Structure formats: structure tokens, C-alpha cells
Structure 1
Amino acid sequence: MSEQYKILHPTKYYRDYLEHNIRPDGRELDHYRPIIVNLGSISTADGSALAKVGKTTVVCGIKAELCQPKAEVADEGFLIPNVELPPLCSPKFRPGPPTEQAQVATQLVADIIKNSKCLDLKTLCIFPDKLAWCLYADLICLDLDGSLIDACMIALMAALKSVTLPAVEYDPALDNKQVNLNDRRPLKIINIPISTTFAIFDNQIVIDPTIDEEDLSTALITIAVKEQELCFVHKSGGTSASEEQLFNCIEESTKRAIVIEGIVDTALKSL
């Protein structure tokens, strides 16, 4: 009967729970789901990680390739994220070109990386205007149950922390490069930006929404923090949030980021 009521009257079903300050999955409004991080998931990648936020599962593989820097930033390399939402992760998607949701997710991840300055792109340059590393970060969602960006950022940052690049010697006179695969060095990560998603429903805000909660919500807010400092805010939907609500969201994001950083560090130690 409960499942039938949920299907026929999803909004009323959810509102009945919120009236008692609880959600259908048993969580309180300010409680997030368990988080799992596993490193070294892809042996053929230069760095990889799998992250789970509740049921939402994202695997990230990073491949490093040598390329020529852009003329306008001749002393920098590249970090290019790409989020994929295959039919495997949700019945909402079909085979074919990237969906709008996948493109939006890719842009949000790229914006968080840019705003946080978590990686100094100059360290990826081997010789200005001639040779640099390009890091392709493929983020594939295996199961989508809300808070996609959160899972993507955890998987991406964990994968970046596990990346090692081979030493490269370059002779500009001969335009010759030598790659020493036996001498590998880790990336220098400046900080770890962590995002947290919030959903607004009937002027109430819930943290780490499931896909059902996202579908019922009138607005979504994604907040990213680095080293307990705000670095990115994105809001979609028409419902506004008060200044006090936003402040509380930032505070909750900061607390959650500390926990996630500890989970990533623990995973690195077991690698």
C-alpha cells in the first residue's frame, strides 16, 4: 500500500514524512548517506578511484598523455573531466550522444576544479610551449541515486591523489623526448574540493538528496568547499533560499568535507 501511495501521490507521500522531520529512507533532514571510497579500481589507468554516496556510484579513471600547451598558457598542462551517464546507471538514459544532464555535470565539475585551484597546472608543463601533460578524467556513473556531483568530486579527487606520472626528459633543440616509466612521481594536489548537494522542498532543505528527492524538489544547491573555505556555489530551480539557510548549508558542507577528506586519506593509506 505504501509503494502504491508513493507512486500515486509522490509529493503528498514525501510531505507526510517531512512533517515529522524524517525522510522516507529513515534519515533526518541534516543527515547524509554513508560514503565509500576505493582506490586503484582501474589497473590500466594512471590513477583511478570508485566513490559511493549511498547508492550513487561513480568510477573515475585518469589517463595522462603528452601534448603541446596552448599558446595563451604556454607554461600549463591540462586537466579535462568528462562525466558519462550511461543507460546502465538509470532507466532515464538511453544509448546515444551525451545527455544535457551529463554535459551540465561535466561543466560543474570543471568549474569546481577551476575555482578551487586544487591542481597547479604549471606543474604539468614539461617545457613551455612545447610539451605538457594532459590529464583526461573520465567519470562514469554506474548507479544514479542523487547527489551526482558529490560522488563525481570524491571519485575525481581520490583518483588525482593516486596519480603518478613518469619522468620525462625533453631536448628542445632536437624536439626529442624520453619517458622513464620506471621513475614515476605523484601529482602535487594543493587542496581537495568537496561538494555537497542540498534540495529545497516546501521551504525545507535536505542534505544529500536521493534521486526521488531531487525530482520532487523545487531547487537544488551545490556547495563546494576547500580547506574549510567556500569556493563554489551553484543553484538550479526557482525556489530561493534565505541567507540563514545558505549559511547553514555552507556550515554543513564544511563539516561533511572534513569527514570525506578523512575517508579519502584512509583509502590512500591502504593503496
Structure 2
Amino acid sequence: MAAAGGFRTVEPLEYYRRFLKENCRPDGRELGEFRTTTVNIGSITTADGSALVKLGNTTVICGIKAEFAAPPVDSSNKGYIVPNVDLPPLCSPRFRPGPPGEEAQAASQFIADVIENSQLVMKEDLCIVDGKLAWVLYCDIICLDYDGNLLDACMCAFVAALRNVQLPAVTINEETGLAEVNLEEKTPLTMRKQPVATSFVLFDSLVIVDPTTEEEDLATGVLTIVTDEEGNLCSVYKPGGSTVTGAKLQDCISRARTRHAEVKKLMDKVIKSIKPS
């Protein structure tokens, strides 16, 4: 055991390749096998919507707060969705205190791009009074334990938290012109799509799903595919690294569609279980 541990430390890539030759990974998974995924919804009682997602050891929590804002000047009938991914030092030794690092910024932009491309929530649905008042949803996504595949976990927690959002009824007092909120009358946020992210890493000629931190560090490339429930592509994200052939890309898209069905089924089951009878 000690010798194996030493070899893994000195030659991590060669150690890993010995497992790949047997079509398995050091953690016992097959190359196309995902880690156990769990979803807990509504865990933050002070938020308007929240979700906690565990993907293996990777743990991410998302809390959403709804506030009032004036609509954009160029889009008087729209509201806002503002995602922010935080990678604090408590989740991994690789992160330091201070302003968001490159990986956190890239993850926030990834979520923002999916919002635009997937139309999971139409910003017109967040408008309260055209030209006067709209909802802004501040979506804070915090990683509590970092062990690879951050984007899949963040996307899952984000969508689950959105499905948990309840917005109160709002009217405008004609005499004062001020907004009046009825907390007794709340309605779920209207969601048009439910995108799911599926990430892969490239090892030589192999494509491996749901990578751990170690696998991401050793891989020659990373690929994340986002699909919706109709099988449409919402995003294909590949930040550099080795190229992917057309055939491998199609295989990854097929796997992503299968993964979408699994995640949506899990999320539907959790949400159904917390609804009052």
C-alpha cells in the first residue's frame, strides 16, 4: 500500500494510466460512471429559493434572493438574474482569500451564458410593471467541498434552487406609487427549461465522465456539454486543451442527454417529496 501511494505521488499520470488500461479508475468507477448525486432543496430558510447538491465529495449550495430593481433602460419589460460562484478557501487548499479568482469568474460566466442560451427563465417573466419595476434574482453559488466537476454541481444546484423560488404577489399603490408586497400570496418562478451540465475529461484517446480534482489536473482537456429536456444543446464549453473529434463529440452529446434525464428525474423526485399534499 505504501509503495503504491509513493508511486502515485511521484508518477501520478503513469499511476492513473495503469487503471485506465483496465477500463477503471482509482476510485473504483468505470470510465463512464458518475459519482453518487444527491439534491436537497429548500435548506436555506432565509432565502427565496435554495438547494444543496453533492456530486461525490464535491458539495455546492445555492441561495437565491429576490429584490426589486428598475428594469434595464433598453429593455423596459425585463428583470435580471445575477449568478455568482464563490470558491472560498474552506472548500480547497487551492483557493485563497480575496477577490474571485479565475476559476470562480469562469464558472460565474458559464452560468450566465447558460441563462442566456437556454432561456430557462424568460427575463420578461421577472417584470412586475413595464418600465417601472422588476425582480432581480441574486443567485449565490458557494462551493463547500471541491473535488472536481464544479460546473456540473453548480448548474444542478442553480437549477434546483430556481425551482424552489417562490415570489410574492406585488401591486403598485396608485396613491403613493410604492410597491406593496403580499407575503401570504406566493407563486413559483416560471421556468421554461431545465438545463443540465455534463462534464468530461480527455485522457490520451479516452473520454471520462464526472472527473475528480485529480483527474482534471492530469487530463489533457476538459469538455462540458449542457442540454435541456428536449435534447437541445444549450452550451458546449471547452476551455483549451486537446481537440475532440466529431465522433467523440457526438458520443459526449449522447451521454449528456442520458445524464440530463437522470438528473431531472432525481430533481423531480426531490421536489415532489417536499410539496404539501
Q: TM-score when scaled to structure 2? A: 0.96
For residues 91 and 40 of structure 2, the distance between their equivalents in structure 1, rounded to whole angstroms, comes to 19
Question: Which of 223, 226, 229 does residue 224 from structure 1 map onto?
Answer: 226
Within a 5 Å distance, the mapping from 1:101-140 to structure 2 comes to 101-140=103-142
Deviations 1:165-211 (A, max 9, x none): 01000246742211111111110111110001100011211001001
1:236 aligns with 2:239: yes
Matching residue within 22, 25, 28 for 2:24 = 22
| 2:15 alignment partner, one of 3, 8, 13 | 13
- Indicate conservation of the 8 Å contact 2:52/2:62, yes or no: yes
| Conservation of the 8 A alpha-carbon contact between 1:61 and 1:159 | yes
User: C-alpha deviations, 1:103-132, integer Å up to 9, x for none?
Assistant: 000000111111110001111101111100
Q: How does 1:203-222 map to 2 (within 5 A)?
A: 203-222=205-224
Measured in 2, the distance between the counterparts of 1:172 and 1:209 equals 56
Write the distance in 2 (CA, Å) between the matches of 1:236 and 1:219: 8
- Measure the CA separation in 2 of the matches of 1:13 and 1:248: 27
* TM-score computed with the length of structure 1 as normaliser: 0.98
Does the alignment pair 1:78 with 2:83?
no
Gaps of 5+ in 1: none
CA distance in 2, matches of 1:68, 1:251: 42
* Contact 1:38–1:50, Cα closer than 8 Å, also in 2: yes
Contact 2:147 2:213 in 1 (8 A): yes
Partner of 1:73, secondary structure, is: coil
1:155 to 136, 154, 157: 157
Q: Which runs of 5+ in 2 are unaligned?
A: none
| Segment drifting more, 125-134 vs 163-172 | 163-172
Contact in 2 for aligned 1:224/1:231 (Cα 8 Å): yes
Match of 2:257 among 250, 254, 259: 254
- Is the contact between residue 119 and residue 189 of structure 1 (CA under 8 Å) also seen in structure 2? yes
Q: Work out whether residues 222 and 241 of structure 2, in 8 Å CA contact, stay in contact via their aligned partners in 1.
A: no
1:28-107 → structure 2 map (5 Å cutoff): 28-107=30-109
State the distance in 1 between where 2:57 and 2:128 align.
40
Please report how far the alpha carbon of residue 4 of structure 1 lies from its aligned counterpart in structure 2 after TM superposition. Answer: 1.3
**In structure 2, what is the Cα distance between the partners aligned to 1:182 and 1:247?**
48
State yes or no: 1:267 paired with 2:270: yes
CA shift, 1:2, in A, is 1.6
CA-based RMSD of the aligned residues comes to 1.0
4+ residue runs of structure 1 moved beyond 3 angstroms?
171-174
Write the distance in 2 (CA, Å) between the matches of 1:121 and 1:263. 26
Q: Is the 8 A contact 2:166 2:188 kept in 1?
A: yes
Could you list the per-position Cα deviations for residues 225-271 of structure 1 after superposition, in whole angstroms to 9, with x for gaps in the alignment? Answer: 00122111010233001101000000000001100001111110122
- Work out the CA distance in 1 between the residues paired with 2:153 and 2:109: 15
Does the 8 Å CA contact 1:218/1:237 hold for their aligned counterparts? Answer: no
Given that 1:69 and 1:131 are in contact with CA atoms closer than 8 Å, whether structure 2 keeps it comes out as: yes
| 2:74 counterpart SS class | helix
In the alignment, does 2:195 pair up with 1:193? yes
Residue pair 1:126, 1:170 contacting (<8 A) in 2 also: no
Q: Distance in 2 between matches of 1:124 and 1:200?
A: 40
Aligned ranges for residues 156-171 of structure 1 at < 5 Å?
156-171=158-173
> 8 Å contact 2:117–2:235 — kept in the other structure?
yes
